A and B are shown apart, each in its own frame.
Chain A
Amino acid sequence: MSTADFLLELRSEEIPARMQAGAREELEKLFRREMDAAGVATGELIVWSTPRRLALIARGLPQATDAVSEELKGPPVGAPDQAIEGFCRKAGVSRDELEQREVKGRATYFALKNIPGRATKDVLAVAIPAVIRDFSWPKSMRWGAASISTGSLRWVRPLSGIVALLGQDIVECEVHGVTSGAVTLGHRYHHSGDITIGDADDYAVKLRAAHVIVDHEERATLIRDGATEVAREAGLNLVEDEGLVIENAGLTEWPIPLLGRFEEDYLEVPPETIQLTARVNQKYFVCENSDGKLANAFICTANIEAEDGGAAIVDGNRKVLAARLSDARFFWDVDRKRTLAEHAEGLKRITFHEKLGTVADKVERVAKLARWLVDEGIVKGADPDMAEQAARLAKADLVTEMVGEFPELQGLMGGYYARAEGLPDEVADAIRDHYKPVGQGDDVPTAPVTVAVSLADKLDTLQGFFGIDEKPTGSKDPFALRRAALGVIRLVTENDLRFAVADGELLDFFADRLKVQQREAGIRHDLIDAVFALGGEDDLVRLLARVKALQNYIETAEGADLLAAYKRASNILKKEDWEGASDADPIETGEEDPLALVDDPAMAKVAAAQMEASRQKARKSLSYTPEPAEKDLIDALDDAEPKAEAALAAEDFEAAMTALATLRAPIDAFFDNVTVNDADAAKRAARLDLLARFRDAVERVADFGRIEG
């Protein structure tokens, strides 16, 4: 069967740059949906975007869909007329077209439908309006005369033209008064008049002749390479910024990077402010000198090839940037007239949260907490006075002019201002970096004063919002608590900070975050669960060490065998509903968590003594001579239990695993050679007790019941 290429172009007024990537995906998705529903096979699709158009090319569409016959089963013969007529309507056949067949000995109506193949052109004529109507934009609008009534078409900006060609034929359709055709427009300023497209093959070619590069990736490459080149020509290095490349590609149909210079005097303000205002407000690239310092140059991306080579454009852009830099310098000068401590007074006027007081209140709490973290030796190597001072000043830049204008510079400006007024580097660094780590890939502070402030800030936020029951739900996390928790986890684990981070719900929240965070490091979430399930573990460093040791062991063949044996023992005990062993174990009689006892050095000895006594009792109470495999398991447990306990108490989790590993052979032998369900009730009870003892020994290391596999 013959095939043809299909071209669709949806032209509109300027589509926001940030929405174009999503729009390309949406176009492809909806087009495929329509073609799949109609049974038109689609191969690879090309999707392009410019500010003024979305384009799709589908190569090699069949000219028609295959004929399909379909058979629909209806009600039995003799059913009420209503039911039969309803079926006819649904099937789209008349009553005399129905056929009768036997189904399980009953005469039943059938509708036979032969759906003939459809011309792809007809399919497309219906599909295009459907794609446009169902298109989902982050924000859409109505326009023009038709918007007098509700239900007029919504699009990102007014939709102004449709090109739809299958082969060389126009696919005729109409949406919201826009009729499809073969005609499009070129560059807004470099080309006037209509362009008639012949087919999918000459689309990009004809547009290029009209100063439009339809392929967004080609424009991105032109910008990337062009910016690098103009920087190089000026003896500078481009500061690469892929986000800006894509944004500028989304703002232009014929991109021309141009380099300009600004007055060198402006370089006295922090380079980040220059880079930020150039990037955010003006979408300019910046450059560095060969020494790696910011240069007094910018690169803007024009959308035209100006007659004067862009001199007027560069000059205009230079003025705009100068005005912005002049503002930045003004802020920089004004802000430094007051100390951070003076600025911090202004925090009393900013509400942090209505139930949590002002930012000044928060600062006070964070200052105390930061100091406490140092005083308690949790954060080692920091001067407590510095930690407190840095915490008190960390938020002061929020009320400076510069951060008011550029909120992204929070922290960073505080650091600059702190250094400018002569505060110690440790304090200035802590102010600068206390928001870190911001994301998964961000650096984690290691400087002790910074660690104390950063950790205190995040813990205060988490405790505060959990205290007023403002917890994240589903996708809603308005106070960015997940990020704060992740920050705490990374600060604690990467700096090896040993303390109880939280309790109750907040600890559970940390457990969840830890699972997400550790997934990337290849740590299994079920193992984290298995350790958390022991209860009472609020020391994330110890918890992770335990999980890692567990994972190393469980992923060996021996570990897998032990897990299997544990599950077997545990299943038998469950099936037999056997609770016997716990009576013999004083450690598990109370509400007190056994680990809590073991963790407390003073209690560890007592616990060990109690356990030993219980073991003696269990051994002595054996009223028969155990079988060899049974005896071996008892001996192995006698040997492994105290070793595992001691290892756990010493937080040597590898050694605890090694101790457990010695049980693997005896337990396997026990299962192979000993009948648990012995006719002798005493033997049965003792053996079930033994299995329970094995289970408990394993569970002291982790709740193996939660481990998958």
Chain B
Amino acid sequence: MTRDPRTSFQDMILTLHDFWSAQGCLILQPYDLRMGAGTFHTATTLRALGPEPWNAAFVQPCRRPTDGRYGENPNRLQHYYQYQVILKPSPPDIQELYLESLATIGIDPLKHDIRFVEDDWESPTLGAWGLGWEVWCDGMEVTQFTYFQQMGGFDCKPVAGELTYGLERLAMYIQGVDNVYDLNFNGGTSSSSEAAGRERRVSYGDVFLENEKQMSKWNFEVADTDGLLKAFEMAEAECRNALEKDVPIAAYEQAVEASHIFNLLQARGVISVQERASYMGRVRDLARGSCEAHMAKEAERWAEKYPEWSK
């Protein structure tokens, strides 16, 4: 069966997988933690540190509780997908590779206006920043393109290039759909309930609309705030425990957890403006501490293997 990325959300993802796999990327699976962006995946953050080459691509579900709109906004979701590619060191033809990937999913740069518009990226939480662009397709931002300069407060040596595609946006664009819930998920053409297998059209709404309604309600109205506050403290404590026992990857997972719980607390509206900065500082300390511990644990091995590298 041939793939058609122009009519099917899942085919678009599979086409990107095929493309980046052919470029030598590992095709990884999503990280099994709730996170706000694909950048939090260890395949991005921790792998951006140190001298070892690393090329990977994966889909990462992202949760942004405050973006929930109870399924009523055609563009905003509290849960959506990013397609993440990380290439380290950044290859000289990274822009051309990226444009080829767009072509494979059906974006013709002679019909559509593809532009690289300055947009620098910074995550104070991760102690990370980079320079790059947001890539515009006919005025719409479809990808964030970043050359990582620092991660966890350390210089990236060498620099990794990160591509983050907004999958729903791209698919809406390619399929010519104005409402995310109308996206054709599987490429099926028949709306009859008797149609079977791939013939039966399944929309993004069929898959996620009810989730958006319920999760928006939970994020904004239901989630037990006392429980969340406790969970935040626990994640923080566990992160420190893991750091003490020198298992930085486990510590990092707890930092990611704390970050998401903080986002939930924000959505519940129980964090005041003054407290907000302090919570963010706490999450930052956990994330940076984990990166530092990871670096400390690996630095010697890296330096041995790559004499030109230094922390």
Q: Which residues of B contact A190 (CB under 8 A)?
A: 110
Q: Per DSSP, are chain A's interface residues mostly helix, strand or loop, or mixed?
A: loop
- Do residues B310 and A307 form an inter-chain contact, with CB atoms below 8 A? no
Which among A141, A308, A349 is the interface contact of B149 at CB below 8 angstroms? A141
Q: In the complex the two chains form, is B273's CB within 8 Å of A350's CB?
A: yes
Identify 13 new A-B residue pairs, CB closer than 8 A, beyond the known A316-B137, A323-B74.
Answer: A14-B116, A16-B118, A17-B118, A141-B131, A143-B161, A189-B114, A284-B139, A300-B113, A304-B110, A306-B113, A313-B113, A317-B138, A323-B75
Interface residues, chain A, with chain B CB atoms under 8 Å away: 13-14, 16-18, 51, 139-150, 156-158, 160, 188-190, 251-252, 282, 284, 300, 302-304, 306-308, 312-313, 315-317, 319-321, 323, 349-351
Residue pair A150, B140 in contact (C-beta under 8 Å): no
Asked if A157 and B111 sit within 8 Å, CB to CB, the answer is no
CA A189 to CA B96, docked complex, whole Å: 11
Report whether B140 and A308 are in contact in the complex, using a CB–CB cutoff of 8 Å. Answer: no
> Once the chains are docked, how many angstroms separate the CA of A74 from the CA of B308?
44
**B92 close to A160 (CB less than 8 A):** yes
Q: Which of A148, A284, A313, A350 contacts B306 (CB 8 A)?
A: A148
Please give the distance in Å from A344's CB to the nearest CB on chain B. Answer: 16
Q: A316-B137, A321-B139 are in contact. Are A147 and B159 (CB under 8 A)?
A: yes
Number of A-B contacts defined by CB within 8 Å: 120
Q: Which of B150-158, B184-192, B195-203, B256-264 contacts A (4 or more CB under 8 A)?
A: B150-158
* Contact mask for chain B residues 34-67; partner A; CB cutoff 8 A; 1 contact, 0 none: 0000000000000000010000000000000000
Contact, CB under 8 Å: B158 / A312? no
Of A139, A143, A282, which is in contact with the most chain B CB atoms at under 10 Å from its CB?
Answer: A143
Which positions in B face A, CB cutoff 8 Å? 51, 74-75, 89-92, 95, 99, 109-118, 120, 130-133, 137-140, 147, 149, 155-159, 161, 173, 178, 272-274, 306, 308-310
Closest-CB distance, A188 to chain B (whole angstroms): 7
Task: Give B133's nearest chain A residue, CB to CB.
Answer: A14
Q: Taking the nearest CB of chain A, how far is it from the CB of B137, in angstroms?
A: 7
Residues of chain B within 8 A of A145, CB atoms compared = 89, 158
CA distance A134 to B251 in the complex (A): 42
Contacts of B310 in A (CB 8 A): 149-150
29 CB-based A-B contacts, threshold 8 Å: A17-B118, A51-B116, A141-B131, A142-B147, A142-B159, A143-B90, A147-B89, A147-B159, A148-B158, A148-B306, A149-B157, A149-B308, A149-B310, A150-B155, A188-B109, A189-B109, A189-B110, A302-B113, A304-B110, A307-B111, A313-B113, A313-B138, A316-B137, A316-B173, A319-B140, A319-B178, A320-B138, A320-B140, A323-B75
A142 — which chain B residues lie within 8 A by C-beta? 147, 149, 158-159
**Chain B contacts for A157, CB-based, 8 A:** 131-132, 147
Q: Which residue of A lies closest to B118 (CB)?
A: A16
Residue in B75, B95, B157 whose beta carbon sits within 8 Å of that of A13 in the complex: B95
Q: B92: which A residues are within 8 A, CB to CB? A: 144, 158, 160
Residue of B nearest to A189 (CB): B109
Nearest B residue to A140, CB-CB: B131
Contacts of B158 in A (CB 8 A): 142, 144-148
Specify which chain A residues have a CB less than 8 angstroms from the CB of B137 in the assembled complex: 316
Nearest A residue to B50, CB-CB: A148
Query: Nearest Cβ distance between residue A122 and chain B, in whole angstroms?
Result: 29
In the complex the two chains form, what is the Cα distance from A140 to B149 in whole Å? 10
- A17 to B116, alpha carbons, bound, how many Å? 10
Q: Is B89 in contact with A316, judged by CB distance below 8 angstroms?
A: no
Are B138 and A316 closer than 8 Å at their CB atoms? yes
Question: Which residues of chain A are within 8 angstroms of B112 by Cβ–Cβ distance?
Answer: 306, 312-313, 316
Smallest Cβ distance from A254 to chain B, in angstroms? 11
Judge whether A141 and B116 touch: CB under 8 Å: no
Q: How far is the CA of A349 from the CA of B90 in the complex (A)?
A: 44
Chain B hits for A160, CB < 8 A: 92
A18 touches B157 (CB 8 A): no
Q: Could you tell me if A349 and B272 are in contact, using CB atoms closer than 8 angstroms?
A: yes
Chain A residue at minimum C-beta to C-beta distance from B146: A141
**Chain A positions within 8 Å of B89 at CB level:** 143-145, 147-148
B residues in contact with A140, CB < 8 Å = 131
Complex interface: chain B residues within 8 A of A323 (CB): 74-75
Interchain CB contact under 8 A, A351 and B273: yes
CB-nearest residue of chain A relative to B155? Answer: A150
> Are the C-beta atoms of B111 and A306 separated by less than 8 Å?
yes
Q: Is A139 a contact partner of B131 (Cβ separation < 8 A)?
A: yes
B132 / chain A contacts, CB cutoff of 8 Å: 157
Given A313-B113, A320-B138, verify A148-B131 contact (CB < 8 Å).
no
User: A303 and B131: CB pair below 8 A?
Assistant: no
A317 with B139: CB separation less than 8 A? yes
Min C-beta distance of B131 to chain A, whole Å: 4
CA distance in complex: A319, B112 (Å): 14
Q: Is the CB of A304 within 8 A of B113?
A: yes
Q: B139, A149: Cβ atoms under 8 Å?
A: no
Contact of B139 among A158, A316, A351 (CB under 8 A): A316
Asked whether B138 lies within 8 Å of A147 as measured between CB atoms, the reply is: no
| A150 CA / B159 CA spacing, docked (Å) | 11
Q: Which residues of A contact B147 (CB under 8 A)?
A: 141-143, 157-158
Q: Which residue of B lies closest to A308 (CB)?
A: B111
**CB-CB nearest in chain B for A139:** B131
Bound Cα distance from A140 to B120, whole angstroms: 11
Q: Is the CB of B273 within 8 A of A148?
A: no
The residue of chain A having its C-beta at the shortest distance from the C-beta of B172 within the complex is A319
B267 to chain A, nearest CB (A): 16
A148: chain B residues within 8 A (beta carbon): 51, 89, 157-158, 306, 308-309
Question: In the complex, A147→B216 CA distance in Å?
Answer: 43
Known contacts A143-B147, A148-B309, A351-B274: A306-B110 contact under CB 8 Å: yes
Given the interface contacts A141-B147, A189-B109, A349-B272, does A150 sit within 8 Å of B139 by beta carbon? no
Residues from chain A with a CB closer than 8 A to the CB of B156 are 147
Q: Which residues of B contact A317 (CB under 8 A)?
A: 113, 138-139
Which residues of the other chain, A, contact B130 by a CB distance below 8 angstroms? 141
A142: min CB distance to chain B, Å: 5
Select one of A158, A251, A308, A312 contacting B115, CB under 8 A: A251
Inter-chain CA distance A148–B310, complex, in Å, is 8
Q: In the assembled complex, which residues on chain A have CB atoms less than 8 Å from the CB atom of B138?
A: 312-313, 315-317, 320
